[in-house]
Structure 1
Amino acid sequence: MGSLFEELEAREAAARVRVEELEAEIASVSAKLELAREGLERLRIARETVAEVLAEMPGVTVDAGGPPTGERVASAYAGAERQVIGVLTVPNWQPGMGPDVLPAVYRHIVEVVADEPGPVRAKQIVPRIGLPAETGKIEGARSKLKRLVGRGWLDEDAPGRRADLGSARGPCRAGFR
């Protein structure tokens, strides 16, 4: 009968190891669950904060439990109209708008371009707005120039070359490669 007790002890030891493994797994899953709950709480707070901010904006209707309804509202951008869906840091150019509605770096780029008599390249703009002339900064400026062209702040007469915007917006020129 000694071998029967040895077999029971071996099974008990194996069961004890399995219980310890499961307890460790539960602790790991509990930690993951806590992190997920914290993330969920941050998202809930962010949604509520955005709803509060949008509710304070004139002309925006916010559903109490959800996002804004997406109705068209008058914008603070010189009477331009836009649909409230997300954040648009560089608004589409509208008559009567000045560079003062742009974020600082875009405003500086438009000012540099406006001060130049001819096309300006991205690598020429970067040091003028206070950034080092590194490849990453030049590519960032090129991206910003493309965004300004796409939103109507600058015109492009040929790929990589920005042309005069006309008398309505002033002598803004840009060019880049």
Structure 2
Amino acid sequence: MVSLPEELEAREAAARQRVEELQAEAAELALRLERAREDLSRLEITRETVVQVLAELSAAEAEPEIVAGDVPEPDKTSAPHGSGVTMVPPWREGLVVAVLPDVYRDIVEVVADAPGPLQAKQIVPRIGLPTTTGKIEGTRGKLKRLVERGWLDEDVPGQFTLARRDPGAGRANSR
């Protein structure tokens, strides 16, 4: 017959061994998680680079030829001079939402999926942001930029919809 202290010691040793096994397993999982995060980071950077290149190509195709002596007006859609990266290119026929930066693409997709007009405060939680005043105002600014570039419409102030595409109009955006 086994005494109670011996039984407790045996159970304690078994529990200690299980804890050590789980710690080793957790360390292995942490290492695998770190590798997966590195892979994800590389893929995100690659995708962002591809989106930037596509936006640059799209913007280059949309730029009119400049006659000698003409000085173009500064483009407010571009990043600082010399970078050549258009953050939100103007919409034109054949341009897809994939050329937009992530947050703008998310906004356009949320608006496109909505059954009717949306306000900034309705969009913010749908793109994964907290509904704080700052996030709502920042999103409202992005919405206005998308309206200016022809991706969205704002027929009623503060109510945003996907831009209607009128084949006869030079701009898809109605104001």
* TM-score in terms of structure 2 length: 0.48
After TM superposition, the score normalised by the length of structure 1 is 0.48
The higher radius of gyration belongs to: 1
